[in-house]
Amino acid sequence: MQPASTQIARAARILESGGLVAFPTETVYGLGADAENPAAVAKIYAAKGRPQDHPVIVHLAPDADLSYWASEIPPEATQLACAFWPGPLTLILKRAPNIPAAVSGGQDTVGLRCPSHPVAIALLAAFKGGKGGIAAPSANKFGHVSPTTARHVHDEFDADGTLAMVLDGGQSQVGIESTILDLSRLATHGPVLLRPGQISADAIAAVIDRLPATPAGLAADPAAPRASGTLESHYAPHTPVAMQDSDEVAATLARLQRAGRKVALIHTSELPPAHADIRLPATPDGFAHALYAALRSMDHAGADLILVEAPPKGGDWLGVNDRLRRAAHGSSGIVRGLLNHDEPA
């Protein structure tokens, strides 16, 4: 489904008047506001319940002038934009002084990307004649599973009436958020991968001839700019999530079922049946595309636990492993309680 040009024009007018519009990108649906209007950006934070110091990404049209948004544009930024824009890569650069700090959580950096979804491109072309930027984190309540369909957005926000409009562009193709690469500290730290995504470190290195550093977390790089989706707990359904290696899943499932627990299972290999069950493609792109829809579906299955068979490690699987690790963070106590429940004799 693609919105009509009249819907695109209406959405652009809403943004220009300071309202909020949810729109599809190739990664996930975004909750958009005029990036140069601090009051409009504040509405994003209020709608999501997002901490004020957690920055948002600014989405730009394909022919945008980067020098308007960033005060320093290293050659690597130009090379990567040429190679991967439009596409799921966010670049962290030094923020131009004319760009409000509201989009950066008060930092002197800004996250920029050009999405490839045709609806997003059409909206960016219509908004301020293609010269504006749309600040847009994922269109969900803060910390919850990101939406990959318009229905998911409605599920998040219809009850509170904060959104003026939701543009429906079908299911997001990529399914997890963009790769975030910090280029704001090249002289001291080189390029740093702050959040993995579909565009891998190896793909980036093939363009700029430098493999980005990949810190395990903010503790490994305390000077790193704060970036979207890098908190330890994120992308989480309401139901506790546990991720286990393939050789553990069947045993855990059997033990929980003996204890009378209901388990929702997300897996790629052949496993015994569970209370609810979704089998995902055993490829990085296929798994990522279906992951958030699966988590949302299992969250409504009436289960005590969502048990996820861990995908392979490393390489092109870094992005989905990152999202699953954050979704499962903080559930260990609940999971341990379920696993230690007295089993019937």
Residue 217's pLDDT band (boundaries 50, 70, 90)? very low
**Counting Cβ atoms within 10 Å, is residue 225 exposed (0-12), middle (13-18) or buried (19+)?**
buried
pLDDT average, residue stretch 84-107: 97
Q: Which residues contact 331 (CB under 8 A, 6 or more apart)?
A: 236, 240, 241, 242
pLDDT score recorded for residue 345: 35
pLDDT score recorded for residue 135: 98
Residue 227's pLDDT band (boundaries 50, 70, 90)? confident
pLDDT score recorded for residue 332: 65
pLDDT score recorded for residue 338: 77
Which of 319-325's residues contact partners 24+ apart within 8 Å by CB, and which partners? 319/176, 319/179, 319/196, 319/197, 319/198, 319/284, 319/288, 320/176, 320/284, 320/287, 320/288, 320/291, 322/195, 322/196, 323/176, 323/177, 323/234, 323/235, 323/291, 324/241, 324/243, 324/291, 325/243
pLDDT digits (tens, 9 = 90+) for 288-303: 999 999 999 999 999 9
Q: Which residues contact 176 (CB under 8 A, 6 or more apart)?
A: 27, 28, 146, 197, 198, 288, 291, 292, 319, 320, 323
pLDDT average, residue stretch 325-338: 78
Q: Is residue 141 within 8 Å of residue 49, measured between CB atoms?
A: yes
pLDDT score recorded for residue 39: 97
Q: Which of 115, 104, 92, 119 is nearest to 36 (CA)?
A: 104
pLDDT at residue 3 tops 90: no
Residue 235's pLDDT band (boundaries 50, 70, 90)? confident
Is the whole-model pTM more than 0.75? yes
pLDDT digits (tens, 9 = 90+) for 136-188: 999 999 989 999 999 999 999 988 888 889 999 999 999 999 999 999 999 99
pLDDT average, residue stretch 191-215: 94
pLDDT at residue 335 tops 70: no
pLDDT at residue 343 tops 50: no
pLDDT at residue 333 tops 80: no
Euclidean distance between CA atoms 117 and 206, whole angstroms: 24
pLDDT digits (tens, 9 = 90+) for 37-94: 999 999 999 999 998 888 999 999 999 999 999 999 999 999 999 999 999 999 999 9
